[in-house]
Amino acid sequence: MNFSLTLFNVVVAVIIIVAFVAMNAAYLVWAERRGAGRIQRRPGPNINGPFGLFQPPLDGLKLMAKQLLVPGGADKVLFAAAPVLAMFPAITSFVTIPFSDTLVAHNINVGLLCVFAFAALGSMSILFAGWSSHNKYAMMAAVRAISQSVAYEIPMLITVITVVMISGSLDLREIVRQQSGNIFHWNIFPLLGNSHNLLMPFSFLIFFICSLAETNRAPFDLSEEESVLVAGYHIEYGSMGFGLFFMGEYANIVVGTSLATLLFLGGWACPFGLFPGVWWFLIKVYALIATIIWIRWTFPRSTIYSLLNLSWKILIPLSLVNLLLTAGLLKVF
């Protein structure tokens, strides 16, 4: 009885999560296009439905109506598996991500570890797609994506360790609970609150840059650079295979920003210390997503070597120093 109830709970939760991620992915495309349009002083999609809100389902319909082509010489199994894998890490990550104190599919006390373990699978889908497509552009993109992923996992995890050290827990709920209260109790703000997180804004910056790179977003979207690699790893994908990659990118963004919110911005805590709840979590997540969109439509793309230089020469040393100093501060206070 107890087991079947848990199973029922998990199934319902997974369905909700899939729906949440898919809706998010679809409507973030809309938001990105509208936002890009406004930044470029044009309206963006505004014909289908009010404010163009029917655009994403119609696009999905169009993609689904198209034939799924497998290029000659492609590895059929991996080629089909790659787009599915693109969505998978995002969905599984959400199983352990708490939306509020009570709203979580399945909380485990090493939730943070779990999220990173799944998120690392995302680059596998790019590798599969690039390798199986039998296309040189896709292959180059895959190699880029892997080296980028390797380079940015390191500073990202080192930075996360600082948060874990302060909170003393890998449980995401616990990390947020410690930040409850008003805006100054959040991890990002130094001095007040947890008193020994002087370097947290700095950690947040590193984390944010790394999550941009991890999710292959501009200015680090080298594996889908349209001006050289045409579309990168999903060059050979059409139909819903492409659609899944496209949605996977946005789903990964949601995961990344959710993590940033939980670790640094106080999760579902209200800035004024009032009415904490899931809405505050969502507001913060979407604010971060808006920032990411804003960044994408402002900056040119980085190069692969300056991208790797940024990681190995700047972010990793800085995050190591950050880790050491945080440890020292923890010891002192």
Partner 1 sequence: MSEPIHLLPDETFVLNVGPQHPATHGVLRIKMRMHGEYVAEAETVLGYIHRMHEKMGELKTYPQFLMNLSRMDYLGALAYCHGHVLVVEKASGIQVPERAEYIRVITVELNRIASHLFGVGSFVMDLGGFSPLMYMLQDREYILDMLEAVTGARLTYCYYRFGGLYNDIDDTFIARARAFIPRCRESLKKYHRLITENIIFRKRLEGNVYLSSEMCRKYGATGGVARASGINFDVRKNEPYSVYPEFNFEVPVFTEGDSMARYKVKMAEIEQSLRIIEQGLDKLPDGPIMPEKAPKIIKPPAGDYYQAVETSKGSFGIRLVSDGSKNPYRLKLRSPSYSNVSLFDEACVGSMIMDAMAFFGSLDLVVPEIDR
Partner 2 sequence: MIGYFQEIFTGLWSLFVGMSISFKEFFSPVVTVEYPYETVTMAPRFRGHIDLVPDENGATKCVLCMACERACPSGCITIEGEKKEGEKKKTLTLYQLDFTRCSLCGCCVEACNFEAIDFSKEYNLASTRKEDFYFDLLKRLQEKRQ
CB contact at 8 A, 92 and 252:
no
Three-class SS state of 57: helix
Point out which span in 19-27, 235-243, 298-306, 323-331 binds partner 1 (CB under 8 A). Answer: 298-306
- Rounded to the nearest 5°, which phi and psi values hold at 120? -65, -20
Residue 30 vs 268, nearer CB to partner 1: 30
Sites for partner 1 among residues 192-221 (CB under 8 A): 218-219, 221
Residue 39 vs 70, nearer CB to partner 2: 39
Closest-CA residue to 97 (of 76, 124, 115, 117): 115
In the bound complex, what is the minimum distance in angstroms from residue 122's beta carbon to partner 2?
25
Residue 284 vs 296, nearer CB to partner 1: 296
**Cα(first)–Cα(last) distance of the chain, in Å?**
49
Query: What are the structure tokens assigned to 40, written together?
Result: 């470029």
Applying CB under 8 A, what is the total number of residues that bind partner 1? 27
CB contact at 8 A, 121 and 89:
yes
Chosen from partner 2, partner 1, none, partner binding at 35 (C-beta under 5 to 8 Å by type) = partner 2
CB contact at 8 A, 149 and 99:
no
102 lines the binding site for partner 1 (CB under 8 A): no
Among 230, 240, 283, 330, binds partner 1 (CB under 8 A): 230
Residue 153 vs 225, nearer CB to partner 1: 225
In the bound complex, what is the minimum distance in angstroms from residue 206's beta carbon to partner 2?
12
Interacting residues with partner 2 (CB under 8 A): 35, 37-43, 46, 294-295, 297-299, 314
Among 2, 300, 331, 332, binds partner 1 (CB under 8 A): 300
Residue 82 vs 293, nearer CB to partner 2: 293
Which amino acid appears at position 111 of this protein? G
226 lines the binding site for partner 1 (CB under 8 A): yes
- Rounded to the nearest 5°, which phi and psi values hold at 52? 70, 25
Among 62, 66, 76, 136, binds partner 1 (CB under 8 A): 136
- Rounded to the nearest 5°, which phi and psi values hold at 182? -80, -175
In the bound complex, what is the minimum distance in angstroms from residue 296's beta carbon to partner 1?
9
Residue 198 vs 314, nearer CB to partner 2: 314
Residue 119 vs 127, nearer CB to partner 1: 127
CB contact at 8 A, 32 and 221:
no
Burial call 95-119: b when 16+ CB within 10 Å, e when fewer: bbbbbbbeebbebeeebbbbbbebb
CB contact at 8 A, 266 and 254:
no
Spell out the alpha helix ranges (H) of 215-238.
none
| Number of residues written out for the chain | 333
- Rounded to the nearest 5°, which phi and psi values hold at 135? -145, 135
Three-class SS state of 182: strand
Residue 38 vs 66, nearer CB to partner 1: 38
Chosen from partner 1, partner 2, none, partner binding at 294 (C-beta under 5 to 8 Å by type) = partner 2
Point out which span in 77-85, 119-127, 186-194, 304-312 binds partner 1 (CB under 8 A). Answer: 304-312
Query: What are the structure tokens assigned to 128, written together?
Result: 């599969």
- Which residues here bind partner 1, judged by CB under 8 A? 36, 39-42, 136-137, 140, 218-219, 221-222, 225-228, 230, 297-306
